[in-house]
Structure 1
Amino acid sequence: MELRTFQPSTVIFLFMIVNVIDYNFVSALKCYKCTMTKPSPHTNETVRLCASFDYSDLYVIDCPYSTMCMKKDISVNLPHPINGTERDCALQRYDYQDLENGKWRLKVAIEEPYDTGCSVIDDKGQRSSRTEFCYCRGDLCNTSCLPHAPHTGMIVFICIFLLILNYK
């Protein structure tokens, strides 16, 4: 019986693919979270103000009940314009009761109500404010309004790495 040996580049490639697949199925989506105002002191929630947003780990949260991140930009046209931003996990969790064996049980579902991209709320001229919601898929994609493809950087790195190894 002949044993087959693999090139080091093939082993590294397979290892990286397994890590990417494992990462997608095991860990929750990560999004940036920040608010325009401080949370209530009774909530015991970390203060993450968007006015101080700096892309640090303080603003990174796990989103176990979301498949998308959200960014909301608000502008109010008063005598002095007020602008603000909020970032968070997209609200996709749906809690409901289900009757099982004669007993009501709490069930949790993850809904997909949003499309990737940005949309402005049309209030038909009723208010002097403008609200834009942006939804995206992929870890930490809610830095801007541009849709973000998950793992693009990792894919580019793998391709360049394999090209370099196979070139020798």
Structure 2
Amino acid sequence: MDLVASLLTFTMFWKLSWSLQCYTCDPEHTFQTCMAFDYSHKYMTQCNKSTMCFKRITSLEFGDGLTSHTVSRGCAPQTTSGEQRKVNGKWYAVKDIYEVYDETCSEDPSDAERSTKTIHCYCRGELCNSADKMFRNILAIIAMAVTLIVLS
């Protein structure tokens, strides 16, 4: 039984040593376009400079009930380019990660007068920019229940 507990603990800490993974696709680029997005590994990316994933949903209403939706996914931009810090008389590039987003979805306020509406969502957790939060919470509860059953 101690071996099982040790292996589970090791597995949890092993995963913590990796960077965050997010789904990435961009409708404006032919590489990893969102048109064929299928939640497969080819859309997964390591977010070395981010602690959050994002999902952006843009809707354009044409009238007569016709609407077009585009979805972008990726690592939330949390660094600044070109930032430098002087250490011991020498300048070094800095790769600080800034926590500037809340874990929520919100509509872009600049879209108020436009026919285009954009919703920006930011989340923490592996591949969190795919399914809705309720589905992820159910999976977490199931995983904890299985772990408790195995350890008992």
TM-score interval w.r.t. the shorter chain?
A: 0.7 to 0.9
Aligned AA for 2:68?
I
1:23 aligns with 2:7: no
Match of 2:73 in 1: 87
CA contact (8 A) 2:54 2:123 kept: yes
Match of 2:105 in 1: 118
Shift of 1:143: 0.4
Shift of 1:49: 1.2
Q: Stretches of 4+ moved more than 4 A in 1?
A: none
Return the alpha-carbon distance in structure 2 between the equivalents of residues 75 and 135 of structure 1: 18
Aligned AA for 2:147?
I
The structure-2 alpha-carbon separation of the partners of 1:109 and 1:75, relative to structure 1 and needing over 3 Å to count, comes to: same
The structure-2 alpha-carbon separation of the partners of 1:68 and 1:115, relative to structure 1 and needing over 3 Å to count, comes to: same
TM-score, normalising length from structure 1? 0.77
CA contact (8 A) 2:111 2:118 kept: no
Match of 2:36 in 1: 52
Which ranges of structure 1 fall in alignment gaps of 5 or more residues?
Answer: 1-7, 40-46, 164-168
Write the deviation string for residues 71-90 of structure 1: whole angstroms up to 9, x where unpaired: 00000123442210001011
Match of 2:124 in 1: 137
Which ranges of structure 2 fall in alignment gaps of 5 or more residues?
Answer: none
TM-score, normalising length from structure 2? 0.85
Return the alpha-carbon distance in structure 1 between the equivalents of residues 77 and 98 of structure 2: 9
Q: What is the Cα-based RMSD across aligned positions, in Å?
A: 2.0
Shift of 1:144: 3.2
Shift of 1:118: 0.8
The structure-2 alpha-carbon separation of the partners of 1:142 and 1:69, relative to structure 1 and needing over 3 Å to count, comes to: same
Provide the aligned length of Structure 1 versus Structure 2: 146
Aligned AA for 1:100?
V
